[in-house]
Amino acid sequence: MQACVKMYPHEQGRNRGLVNEITGYLFGHALGIPQPDLAFVAHVPIKHINGAKGLVRELKRAKVDTYPAFCTRRIDGHSAAVRVPDSQLPAVVEDIRKWRALPHAVALDENIANSDRHLNNLLRLGTGDYAVIDNGLLACPYPGGNWSAEDLDAQGNYVNVLSENMWQNNPPGRMVSKMLDLSRHHLSAVAGIANELEFWWSKLLSEDDHQAFKAFLDARTANVHSLLANRYGRLL
């Protein structure tokens, strides 16, 4: 099996990349969003880590032999826009708009406050067919930042990059109706991953951060219908 491996800097425990990746992947699984069909955490030997000299120095000082990485099974596909000239981006956007799971993915990102689903975080599998990757930036208080317990705002209007890229946050009415309908099923779907989420949060977060992140996502899941209605100017 070939796998894609992503490692995040430690930053004295402030970096949220690994816990965000796991959280986003599990939410995507619960909601049936196309994504790699297998994910796991691997403890990578320090001697095999290349191109991250600062991290390696920090780990050697801490006298650890391995470092956790988020891994997914490799799927055949290419980032939607990685080598596309700007002049061809409208055609890429138009093709993504044909993707049957697009409203599912936008509703997912609203739920988990994913602020980084740019076009290269979609893998193109074929015409009008994509899979999502990369949930490393959730609930960012500013572009590229890491959330802290005090920053989490369950009612916050976090940037929904996928919505912006597809429709400048003004999708067709039928698409809004579809997302609102899908959002009504989030609470029951996510209930099926509650124990798994609790397991990882308890391992990767302090108790205070664990409880804050849980409360944040529980509230957004329960209220994702109203969050989407507010974003698109619909009545509840």
Average pLDDT over residues 173-192: 98
- Per residue in 9-53, pLDDT (tens digit) is 888 888 999 999 999 999 999 999 999 999 999 999 988 888 777
- Per residue in 112-127, pLDDT (tens digit) is 999 999 999 999 999 9
H/E run at residue 44: strand 39-45
The pLDDT score that the predictor gives to residue 11 is 84
- The tokens for 197 are 């989420």
For residues 149 and 214, what is the distance between their CA atoms, to the nearest angstrom? Answer: 10
For residues 215 and 210, what is the distance between their CA atoms, to the nearest angstrom? Answer: 9
- Per residue in 60-81, pLDDT (tens digit) is 887 888 999 999 999 887 776 6
**Cα–Cα nearest to 31, from 117, 132, 147:** 132
Task: Return the half-sphere exposure (C-beta side, CA atoms, 13 A cut-off) of residue 151.
Answer: 11
What pTM does this model have? 0.94
**Cα–Cα nearest to 173, from 100, 223, 232, 101:** 232
214: which residues sit within 8 A by CB, 6+ positions away?
Answer: 197, 198, 201
At residue 147, the 3 state secondary structure works out as coil
Strands of 3-6's sheet, edge to edge? Answer: 3-6, 66-73, 39-45
The pLDDT score that the predictor gives to residue 49 is 84
Is the model's pLDDT at 170 over the cut of 90?
yes
> pLDDT band at residue 83, thresholds of 50, 70 and 90?
low
